[in-house]
Amino acid sequence: MNPLTSRAEPRPPRRAVSGGLVLANGSVFEGRLHVPAGYPEAAMDPLVGEVVFNTGMVGYQRLMTDPSYCGQIVVLTYPLVGNTGVNELEFEAAAPALSAIVVREMTENDTHYLGAVRLLDWLSGLGIPVLSGVDTRAVVRQLREQGTMNGALAEGSPSPVEPGLAERIRSHRLFHPVGRVTPAAPCVVPAPDAAAPAFRLAVLHYGCKSGILRSLSDRNCELTIFPAGTPADTILAGGFDGVVLSNGPGDPADCTHEAEQVGKLAGRLPILAICLGHQLLAMAMGGTTEALAFGHRGSNHPVKDLVEGRSFVTSQNHGYAVRPGSLPPGVATVTHVSLNDGSVEGLSYRDIPAISVQFHPEASPGPADTEYLFDRFLAMLGRRG
């Protein structure tokens, strides 16, 4: 839970100056840069990161605290942001891991009855810059047409783009961001009925949202949360009923050690694999992943369940997917596909007990249409043996 300051307390110091978003293709989108507390009065050094966009209309606090955005500059497509403030209940991690936010309009006139602090004050206190007044439709159009690219937030008028900044943008790469968001040590979350938990689960935390933990805890599971690089032997020695492979940030190809450990768990324990966990399980079973043109980020992504012949609206946050046909013949069957671009959204494995999906069944934010997958996973545990 992230501590929030009271509205009655002084606002964290910040300043608003002219600034802009510079994309790797040379495009510049000017706006008002809200420089947060902690930056010196001198001009803020350009902040470089991968620029992505989220299409959700609500739930900005949950998406901002999703660790899967680690190191990214996030453009919000909904035009008005900040109108519900920030409250104590909607955190997916203790604090945001993203680098900056870009919006059309940032309001400080929030009216939600649970709001404890204004969004801009909260972000400023955490040292996160915000660029407002931007034509976010134009930014998103370029990202959709030319693909996800790096960019930078810069103070002043960054046009024309200086060669040094252009090179920084071009060469930027955040390697293995999972290491930035995974916990340092294991911890246990007791089941609500601690004396009689339904199941004891190991959770490999690659950047896990609290919504995943909450969904399992609500089903009376005891959870032991492990750092991303935990050896498989440690998990297997714990006497767990199953293992959860969580979501997380970055390129799955950076996570070769994590995928190797997942391979040692596959077939030994039932697995629920979500988002990055889904990709790592596919890698462990002989598959490969690929970068999507501009990723899936939002709470309104349609997915078709090929087994049941049904479609669902899902919450998603990923820039990579399992490459179709990359798994060895007969190892797995595609169970879910994106109705937007046909990419793989779910896999069923022939020889191991696993539920593996690219989307987020816990939502947070978004629709809970696919939360039944948690029940399906626990039913799998009940049938084990």
pLDDT in tens, 195-250: 999 999 999 999 999 999 999 999 999 999 999 999 999 999 999 999 999 999 99
Residue 50 near residue 293, CB atoms below 8 Å: no
Compute the distance between CA of residue 217 and CA of residue 230 in angstroms, rounded to an integer.
22
pLDDT score recorded for residue 121: 93
Which of 1-15, 245-259, 270-284, 331-345 is least confident? 1-15
Q: Give per-residue pLDDT as tens, 98-129.
A: 999 999 999 989 989 999 999 999 999 999 99
Structure tokens at 262: 């997942």
Q: Percentage of residues in the chain with pLDDT exceeding 90?
A: 89
Size (the chain), residues: 385
Catalytic annotation on 308? no
Compute the distance between CA of residue 119 and CA of residue 106 in angstroms, rounded to an integer.
9
Q: Is the pLDDT of residue 43 over 60?
A: yes
pLDDT score recorded for residue 15: 86
Q: Is the pLDDT of residue 55 over 60?
A: yes
Compute the distance between CA of residue 339 and CA of residue 292 in angstroms, rounded to an integer.
14
Phi and psi of 217, rounded to 5°? -65, -40
* Residue from 275, 278, 336, 345 carrying the catalytic annotation: 275
Catalytic annotation on 50? no
Write the CA distances from 251 to 123, 208, 304, 329, 337, integer angstroms.
26, 16, 25, 25, 20
pTM: 0.95
pLDDT score recorded for residue 1: 40
Per the listing, tokens 């246990």 go with 188
Q: Give per-residue pLDDT as tens, 182-194.
A: 999 999 999 999 9
Residue 366 near residue 314, CB atoms below 8 Å: yes
Amino acid found at 365 = P
Phi and psi of 266, rounded to 5°? -60, 125
> Taking the mean position of all CA atoms in its chain, how far away is CA 83?
22
Domain ranges of the chain: 15-171, 178-383
Compute the distance between CA of residue 113 and CA of residue 349 in angstroms, rounded to an integer.
46
Q: Give per-residue pLDDT as tens, 125-172.
A: 999 999 999 999 999 999 999 999 999 999 988 888 899 999 999 999
Catalytic annotation on 275? yes
Considering the segment(s) 178-383 as one domain, its CATH architecture is 3-Layer(aba) Sandwich (3.40)
**Class in CATH terms, 15-171:** alpha beta
